[in-house]
Homo-oligomer: A and B are copies of this chain.
Amino acid sequence: MRKFINPSPDIWAELVKRPTKNLEELEPGILQTFQLVQEQGDAALLQLAQKYDGVQLQSLLASEVEIAEAEAKVPQELKEAILQAYSNIQLFHTQQAEPVRQVETMNGVNCWRKSVAIDKVGLYIPGGTAPLFSTLLMLGVPARIAGCREIILCTPPAKDGSIHPAILYTASLLGITHIVKAGGAQAVAAMAFGTESVPAVYKIFGPGNQYVTVAKQLVSKTGVAIDLPAGPSEVLVMADESANPAFVAADLLSQAEHGDDSQVVLLTTSEEILQQVEQELEVQLNVLPRREFAAKALENSLGVVLNSRQSMLNFSNLYAPEHLILSVADFEELMEGITNTGSVFLGHYSPESAGDYASGTNHTLPTNGYARAYSGVSLDSFVKKITFQYITREGLQNIGKTIETMAEAEGLEAHKNAVSIRLKELDRV
């Protein structure tokens, strides 16, 4: 942990910087993959599964039999946990639905907006060490609430051609029928451009390795929307004298275990707490299965002692962390001053893990300082908000002059005429 005791605000901008990674060198290879998928469709996906996943697939899509078998393989305890998380996420995200509110801005001028599902969405769930069924819940539940008509799931197959049972079980709960065994840039290409088996979608969600990250960036230039720009996961913990060092250390490690590029920041008003947290980190780290990742991440982490709660708040708002934990006695006032973050965890019994899995909030959040301008994934991410207006004859008579005057001042006569021609007709009646 890099430690700073009351660093001058002059160097804060330096401290909050994230390491930058230039991934441009990956672009040519990924564009080649795109071309292959565009030209050969399913055949390209099968070929690339052999090349990158080491498997000769019989079929790109998971079969009903596979899905049914998966259900039998998932332990009852895990099923119950997934169902509980599903229920909480559903409850929280359902509340995000915006009712249609009609506003009559002038007599006869009626305006409203309506949320309409994005028709076709693609969800990417990485393979690798951890089967991220939690991410599938975080993306699939709001997609279902929104009413997306087609939900495509892409996830890389294991060497035996299988998909982790917990992923298949969760997909099945969500009613996802298009489960495609494809990973990496080729999966992103399939969802962006379509193949015989994979319908082209309008928006692509989900985390992934650097190939997936760059592929998402590249397809977003062709008009396919993406959920969020990517970056390593982050947590910032503010701890005062009331904090429990063991809890704080556990929270920092839960972020650090994601990968060696995870960003972990501790702000505290107490040097003693900083020391105690460091001792706890050592104790807890040693028994972790993923201690190698965590230890690497901790090397780059920050421990900063600041002389006031306000300073902690200012530093945190400048950093704009993905996750922000307030391990403080009375968080109410501090909470009001938060401007830049993805998701906030209040008090000593709200660990980040709760939001990562089951409390109901979404865990797909802005990293890398993007929280200054971006929100995390929510129901909003799966809908468009379309505005409507209905103007009556009287309404147009009320507002017409205003439009004509403005259009004329902007030199747009045809805009003016679209009103004038109607007003003239109304005058004649």
Contact = CB atoms under 8 A, between A and B. Distances in A.
9 contacts: A81-B409, A129-B411, A130-B411, A256-B414, A343-B387, A343-B388, A353-B418, A355-B387, A359-B389
A343 B415 contact: no
Interface string A196-234: 000000110000000000000100010111000100000
A82 B406 contact: yes
B378 A385 contact: yes
Given A331-B390, A354-B403, 20 more contacts: A81-B406, A92-B103, A109-B354, A118-B372, A225-B374, A244-B425, A253-B414, A254-B412, A288-B417, A343-B387, A357-B402, A357-B407, A359-B399, A361-B387, A361-B389, A362-B387, A366-B384, A374-B384, A375-B386, A378-B387
A402 B85 contact: yes
A414 B92 contact: no
Interface string A110-149: 0101001111000000000111111000000000000000
A412 to B, nearest CB: 6
Interface residues of A, number: 128
A201 to B, nearest CB: 9
A105 interface: yes
Contact of A422 (B105, B351, B390): B351
Interface stretch (A2-10, A93-101, A183-191): A93-101
A30 to B, nearest CB: 15
Interface string A338-355: 111111111111111111
Interface string A417-429: 1110110010000
Contact of A406 (B85, B223, B288, B391): B85
